[in-house]
Amino acid sequence: MAEKKIRIMVAKPGLDGHDRGARILARCFRDAGFEVIYTGCHQTPEQIAAAAIQEDVDIVGLSCLSGAHRYLFPRVVEILKEKGAADITVIGGGIIPDQDFPSLYDAGIKAIFTPGAPLDTIVQWVRTNVQPRNE
């Protein structure tokens, strides 16, 4: 009867409008049985954090292909923390150069997936590392 589902938000921060990857992932999370909130493109980190709290998601997946990830990704983590929602996991993906990984991990991004990452791997990562309500 009662079933605890993973709620995940897929969001595209910044000015980049290349959303095919984000949409494919949204679909793929749906097929994995998650409830997926898709916010669309051109979101500010503030909008994404506010929406994540309103939707009570367990995890936020950010997609960025424009190169602005070094500002945008950590900013989402920061705002969530400010709003008392540090328990929401944040992961990222897109065109992310290897040398940026350490600073993103330091900023609290829990995983980074770049082009070529198999969809199964991403879903499996979520299943392993995220529990509904982070219980």
Partner 1 sequence: MTEEFEGMEQLRKIRAGDVRTASRLIRNLEDELPEAKSAIRRIFPHTGRAHVVGITGSPGAGKSTLVDALIASFRKREKTVGVLAVDPTSPFTGGAILGDRIRMQRHAEDPGVFVRSLATRGALGGLSKAVGDAVHVMDVMGKDLILVETVGTGQQEVEIINHSHTVIVVLVPGMGDEIQAIKAGIMEIADIFVINKADRDGSHQLESELMSMLNMVPEFQGGWRPPIVRIGNCFEPGPFGESLEELAAVIGDHYRRLVETDLLGDRMRRKTMVEIHEALRDAILAPILKEMTESGEMEEIAGRLLRKETDPYTIAAEVARRRLK
Contact positions vs partner 1 (CB under 8 A): 1-5, 7, 26-27, 29-40, 43, 46-48, 50-51, 53-56, 83-85, 132-133
DSSP, res 134 = G
**Min separation Cβ 99 and partner 1, Å:** 32
Q: Which is nearer to partner 1, 40 or 97 (CB)?
A: 40
Nearer to partner 1, 98 or 135 (CB): 135
Residue 1: CB atoms within 10 Å: 2
| Residue among 85, 48, 41 nearest 66 (CA) | 41
Compute the least distance from the CB of residue 42 to partner 1, in Å. 9
Please tell me the distance from the alpha carbon of residue 37 to that of residue 109, in angstroms, as a whole number.
Answer: 19
Of the pair 20, 116, the CB lying nearest partner 1 is at 20
Smallest gap from residue 40 Cβ to partner 1 (A): 4
Shorter beta-carbon distance to partner 1: residue 97 or 132: 132
Give the residue ranges of DSSP H helices in the chain: 20-31, 45-55, 69-82, 101-106, 119-129
Whether the CB-CB separation of 51 and 11 falls below 8 Å is answered with yes
